Amino acid sequence: MFVHAGLVLLIMVIAFVVAKWAKVTTELSMAIAALAGALYHTKGIPVRHLVEGSFNYFDVCLIFITATFFMNILKESGAVTFMVRSIVSRFFKHRYLCLLLLTIVMLVPGAITGSGAATVFTVGTLVGTVLTCMGISPNRTAAIIFLCAAMSAAAPPINLWAMMAAAGSNMPYVGFTKPLLVLSVVGKLGAAFILGARGKQVDLESALAELPESPVGMNWLKVGLPFIVLFALVVAGRIWPFSMPIVGLPMMFVLASIAAILVSPHKLRIVEIASTTIHSLIPLVGIMVVVGMLIQIMALSGARGLISLGVVTLPLYVLFFALWFILPVSEGLLQYAVAPLLGVPLILLFNMRGMEPVIALSAMATMWPLGDCLPPTAVVGRATVMELKFKGSYTKDFLKTCLVPIALILLMCTLFIVFSNELAFLVG
């Protein structure tokens, strides 16, 4: 069985590499890998398994789609522009406060959707414009935007890596809020202030001229109302759990979106926004659907067990010295697929070794998004340079500037894993 599972794994890897070499997208390459593994294992096409696997992250996909729709509605209504312009107008004399507030603004989209790309697409350009007006170089501006986006994806409540790994380990996605918040906020502020500390006061005139106009009639109440609806629904479910119907996160985002549409100062083209949302999400929703299929075939053929066994029999110190490298690199290669593939056996190992799995998984789930600037996929990194119309070299300028803060965040996360038991007080 060891040889068989190893062969299945090998065939999947070869199929993936060949497909990528033939310029097939990462998502379809994974689907081809799943199909190749299935063909070898079953000597046919296990249609039921492939289709059943596509349901693996169905609810996560729905959360992801509705949350991104919500953020896009806010963007199109002008709420995001209004927020950024207001912050700049009021705090342009206080450089650090301005930087802090912009960092917080950059936390929201990723924290709500679990996607760093969502942060880049909704607020990246706006915040990037202000950072440039603060005298921050283009290299550093791009690096700040990427790192803030990566950390926002790691931030609670929605951390897709943690959710996917927890779901695969039959572990409740409960108790992650504090550790994820600490890691992502420290990481985000650290990156923003390391890279953005030096510069000048915001040039208000040029910043306001560069930023798009916010729509007439927009105000803080209209910006805040959709968030109040969302927050109220979450809180009501906790305070009155037995007298509230079960709304579920996707419908909460839909209701918050409806609130945003109702208070929008101008008419929104909802079908177009929904269509754009789906289009922008296709790589991420696609990868979740395809990874589900891949995982199912791996479970069917024993390949999942082989990886799990390989991971759980590794000495812990090897992992402590290697995870900081393995996790971002594997993210660059496979994106969200790494969470169920590597995360689940790692959680199993941490459990078996008596470590605090929630802290360890939170740390891993903060390390993964950092790999989103690494090739071959580099989804968020590429989105950042595209949105900012970055002129420099991707590797020599952008990536190199990111290295120091990334190394510091990885060190912090590694320490969280090593001292997970000591940090257990953060859970709960």
Partner 1 sequence: MNNRSLFIVKIVAFTLMLVAIVWAGIEFYNHRNFTETVVLGDGVSTVKKLSDYYPGLKDSVNDCNIYIFEGKEPGGTLMVIGGSHPEEPAANLTAELLVETAEVEVGRLIVAIRANRSASTVTRPGDAYPLYYTIPTPWGEKQYRMGDRWTNPLDAWPDPEVYVHYPSKQMLAYMDIRNFNRTWPGYANGTLTERTNFAFMELVRAENVDVFIDLHEAELEYPVISTIVAHQKGTNVAAMTSMMLNATEFKIGMEYSPKSLHGLSHREVGDHSQAVSYLLETPEPLLDRVRGITDEHLLLTGKDPFVQKAGEYGLLYEKIDDDGWPIDVRVGRHASTVLELAQSWSDLNPDRSIRVSNVPRYAEVIENGIGFYFANPANVPSQRLAYE
Partner 2 sequence: MTFLNTLINASYYVLSAAVSLILIRNIVKTRDAQEAVLYCIILMPFLLRVFHIK
Regarding 52 and contact with partner 2 (CB under 8 A), the answer is yes
When CB distances are held under 5 to 8 angstroms depending on the partner's kind, the choice from partner 2, partner 1, none that residue 65 binds is partner 2
**Beta carbons within 10 angstroms of residue 167's beta carbon:** 18
CB 301 within 8 A of CB 88: no
Contact (CB, 8 A) for 140 and 388: no
Does the footprint of partner 1 cover residue 172 (CB under 8 A)? yes
- Minimal distance in Å, beta carbon 115 to partner 2? 16
Give 51 or 97: the residue with its C-beta nearer to partner 2.
51
Note whether 56 binds partner 1 by CB under 8 A: yes
- Length reported for the chain: 428
Select from 51-59, 107-115, 136-144, 213-221 the region that touches partner 2 (CB under 8 A): 51-59
The residue within the footprint of partner 1, chosen from 109, 110, 250, 381 (CB under 8 A), is: 250
Cβ-proximal residues to 217 (8 Å cutoff; 6+ apart), any chain: 265, 266
Q: How far is CA 38 from the centre of its chain?
A: 29
Which range of residues in 62-70, 98-106, 349-357, 377-385 is near partner 2 by CB under 8 A?
A: 62-70
Place of tokens 């990874």: 291
- 246 scored as a contact of partner 2 (CB under 8 A): yes
Burial class (CB in 10 A: 0-12, 13-18, 19+), 182: middle
For partner 2, which residue of 5, 9, 33, 65 counts as binding (CB under 8 A)?
65
Element containing residue 341 per DSSP (H, E): none
Name which position in 31, 142, 211, 297 contacts partner 1 (CB under 8 A): 297
Count CB neighbours of 174 within 10 A: 10
| Residue 351 burial by Cβ neighbours in a 10 Å radius (0-12, 13-18, 19+) | middle
Q: Is 286 in the site for partner 2 (CB under 8 A)?
A: yes
Instruction: Give the range of 259-267, 288-296, 334-342, 410-418 binding partner 2 by CB under 8 A.
Output: 288-296
Cβ atoms of residues 297 and 46 within 8 Å? yes
Using rule CB under 8 A, residue 289 touches partner 2: yes
Q: Considering only residues 194, 309, 412, 418, which one is a binding residue for partner 1 as defined by CB under 8 A? A: 309
**Count of positions on this chain that bind partner 2 (CB under 8 A):** 33
167 is an interface residue for partner 1 by CB under 8 A = yes
Q: Quick count: other Cβ atoms within 10 Å of Cβ 185?
A: 18
Residues near 15 by Cβ (< 8 Å), separated by ≥ 6?
A: 29, 32, 33, 35, 36, 37
d(CA 413, CA 428): 19
Grouping H, G, I as helix, E, B as strand and the rest as coil, residue 343 is helix
- Pick one of 7, 18, 39, 62: the residue that binds partner 2 (CB under 8 A): 62
Closest separation between CB of residue 173 and partner 2, Å? 19
Task: List the one residue from 201, 219, 275, 393 that touches partner 2 (CB under 8 A).
Answer: 275
Closer residue to partner 2 (CB): 279 or 389: 279
The C-alpha atoms of residue 6 and residue 121 are separated, in whole angstroms, by 40
278 binds partner 2 (CB under 8 A): yes
- Of 310, 275, 368, the closest CA to residue 6 belongs to 310
Burial 274-284 (b: 16+ CB within 10 A, else e): eebbeebbebb
**Among the candidate windows 2-10, 61-69, 136-144, 190-198, which touches partner 2 by CB under 8 A?**
61-69
Task: Give contact residues for partner 2 (rule: CB under 8 A).
Answer: 24-25, 27-28, 31, 51-52, 54-55, 58, 61-62, 65-66, 243, 245-248, 250-251, 254, 271, 274-275, 278-279, 282, 285-286, 289-290, 293
Task: Give contact residues for partner 1 (rule: CB under 8 A).
Answer: 1-2, 4-5, 41, 47-56, 58-59, 166-174, 234, 237-238, 241-242, 246-252, 292, 295-297, 299-302, 304-306, 308-309, 312-313, 340, 344-345, 348, 352
